[in-house]
Structure 1
Amino acid sequence: MDALRAEDAAARALGLGGAGDAEWLARCELAALYRLLAHFRMTDLIDTHVSARVPGQGGQFLINRYGVLFHEMRASDLVKVDEDGRALQTGPGATPAQRVNKAGFTIHSAVHKARPDLHCVIHTHTTAGIAVAAQRQGLLPISQHALKFYGKLGYHDYEGIALDLEERERLVAALGAHKAMILRNHGLLAAGATVAEAFHEIYFLERACQAQVAALAGGQELNLPPEAVRLRTAGQFGNDNASGIIDLAWQAALRLIETEGAAYRC
């Protein structure tokens, strides 16, 4: 956040729809997250989406303008929408017609409306994520990365492209009290109380799926840790936030896109 706070003045200079410092910082963080997902190849051309609440603005969140690639995302490319999907003013030259992926709105608005504890939501269509989403057994407890989600992962059955707003109730029910979910035959979803936590969740979930695909491809019998070890490991991961690991990892990840300078903070 220290690097992002240096851009406070840019918010006023650009006059992003009257956005205050808090909203501008949220925009910068979210744009950085988009670029990090591109860095780790968690993209699907212009599809999939990441969102974050607008601080102090109940019912409003930021999401990508449809058509912008993740690696080129800027703070000013993010569209502010309300709970009904209406695009609000987002910056110089912005128009109410700025396009948001309709399925993206359905998925993200469902979580934001039902889970006030979650600030940021990530949805991906990676090869490994889709592969595990297509496997009946779901995520197997075969790696340390997977054990982070042991007993803490929701599953939502595929209903087609998420264009029906009525699906939101079922999405939320499947997520339950968890912060991550596998959308069967579709992809992954992860969220967090902060952008840093959401990134941590999707990074480990993606890596767990990659490990599972590779392990199954080996054609050998898999070794599963005993139940007691699974539960203990899941509990150990629960201490990451308290010990500052999540924020430490986020700051380290931001250095991966330092070569881009202030590009995403425009």
Structure 2
Amino acid sequence: MTVTDMLTAAGRPPVADPDERVHRRRKLAAALRLFARFGLTEGATGHISARDTERPDHFWINPADQPWARLRASDLILVSPDGTVVEGDGPVNPAGVAIHAQLLAARPDAVSVAHAHSVAGKAWSVLRRPLDPLTQDACAFYGDHVVVPFAGIVLDAREGEHIAEVLGPGKAAILANHGLLTVGRSVDEAAWWYISLDRQCQVQLLAESAAGPLHLIDHDTATATAAVNGSPEVGRLQFALLWRQITTEEPDLLD
């Protein structure tokens, strides 16, 4: 199969449950478990959302009192824009409401937002710099991520609005002195962009700690690479491999 064939296949709608609402929740549960598996979580901090198919201003999110590693689709809670839990049981993280409600409202194209306090992401965020085009993988974020100044714990809708304003149409944000955030037109994309972004932070931290100059990929090449590596199709393709693995090994997440 050629690269073109792979991208074409990834661009096709996935084989979903008859109920897209159920399918989206299952993808969200899988993403949460993958974040736990990759060590991207820290206690009760962080959250991933999925826009509801029936009420687009509402979103599914992980309850604040459940460990990500064991979350099932049925454990997720549906939250209104003001933070009211309208389906499911469990407390909602106030920061999750402030961030996800505002970003999903500002981005009609977005289905999912991912935010966590991963180690590499936090370490890079204290430098308050965008990532450089050091590698082919890093080019996925070239010209498509921003740095958001730190203004304390995000508990107010105005802070969520500020993040949305700085992010604009981009796919990712480095929240200074805080962590990382990604947005996708599917849960697949948002989750993969976060996993990849955290790894690019780790790579740049390692590269900058080594002796010798950093050799950046030039603007034209980085732009051309971003058009492929940073495309929604590639985001979905990359997540599809992880989805197959985790649903095979931990099928209870689909419950």
Aligned-partner Cα distance in 2 for 1:134–1:249: 28
Aligned-partner Cα distance in 2 for 1:125–1:32: 18
Counterpart in the other structure of 1:39: 37
Counterpart in the other structure of 1:256: 245
Counterpart in the other structure of 2:61: 63
Gap runs ≥5 in structure 2? 1-13
Using structure 1 for the length normalisation, give the TM-score: 0.85
Question: What is the DSSP-based 3-state SS (H/G/I as helix, E as strand, rest coil) of the residue aligned with 1:44?
Answer: coil
- Deviations 1:167-218 (Å, cap 9, x if unpaired)? 1221111111101111011110011111111122112211211101111121
Question: What is the DSSP-based 3-state SS (H/G/I as helix, E as strand, rest coil) of the residue aligned with 1:144?
Answer: coil
Aligned-partner Cα distance in 2 for 1:124–1:220: 32
Using structure 2 for the length normalisation, give the TM-score: 0.88
Aligned-partner Cα distance in 1 for 2:129–2:210: 17
Q: Give aligned pairs, total.
A: 242
Aligned-partner Cα distance in 1 for 2:235–2:158: 34
Runs of 4+ in 1 over 6 A off after TM superposition: none
Which of 76, 97, 107 in structure 2 is aligned with 1:115?
107
Aligned-partner Cα distance in 2 for 1:161–1:188: 14
The answer as to whether partners of 1:48 and 1:125 remain within 8 angstroms in 2 is yes
Gap runs ≥5 in structure 1? 9-20
- 1:180-195 aligned at under 5 Å gives the runs 180-195=172-187
Question: What is the DSSP-based 3-state SS (H/G/I as helix, E as strand, rest coil) of the residue aligned with 1:50?
Answer: strand
Shift of the 154–68 alpha-carbon distance from structure 1 to 2, 3 Å rule, reads same
Aligned-partner Cα distance in 2 for 1:106–1:121: 12
Computed over aligned residues only, the root mean square deviation of the Cα atoms, in angstroms, reads 1.8
Aligned-partner Cα distance in 2 for 1:60–1:46: 21
- 1:5-154 aligned at under 5 Å gives the runs 5=17, 21-90=19-88, 94=89, 98-154=90-146
Aligned-partner Cα distance in 2 for 1:222–1:246: 27
Shift of the 136–80 alpha-carbon distance from structure 1 to 2, 3 Å rule, reads closer
Shift of the 88–217 alpha-carbon distance from structure 1 to 2, 3 Å rule, reads same
Question: Identity across aligned pairs (percent)?
Answer: 36
The answer as to whether partners of 2:175 and 2:181 remain within 8 angstroms in 1 is yes
- Deviations 1:60-111 (Å, cap 9, x if unpaired)? 1001111211111111211101111111022xxx4xxx31111111111111
Question: What is the DSSP-based 3-state SS (H/G/I as helix, E as strand, rest coil) of the residue aligned with 1:170?
Answer: helix
The answer as to whether partners of 2:82 and 2:97 remain within 8 angstroms in 1 is no
Counterpart in the other structure of 1:12: none
Shift of the 238–261 alpha-carbon distance from structure 1 to 2, 3 Å rule, reads closer
Structure possessing the higher radius of gyration over alpha carbons:
1
Aligned-partner Cα distance in 2 for 1:123–1:225: 28
Tell me how far 1:226 sits from its aligned partner.
2.1
Aligned-partner Cα distance in 2 for 1:156–1:129: 13
Counterpart check, 1:204 vs 2:193: no
Tell me how far 1:41 sits from its aligned partner.
1.6
Shift of the 79–165 alpha-carbon distance from structure 1 to 2, 3 Å rule, reads same
Aligned-partner Cα distance in 1 for 2:118–2:230: 25
Shift of the 75–214 alpha-carbon distance from structure 1 to 2, 3 Å rule, reads same
Counterpart check, 1:179 vs 2:171: yes
Question: What is the DSSP-based 3-state SS (H/G/I as helix, E as strand, rest coil) of the residue aligned with 1:123?
Answer: strand
The answer as to whether partners of 2:130 and 2:146 remain within 8 angstroms in 1 is no
Aligned-partner Cα distance in 1 for 2:96–2:253: 21
Tell me how far 1:249 sits from its aligned partner.
2.4
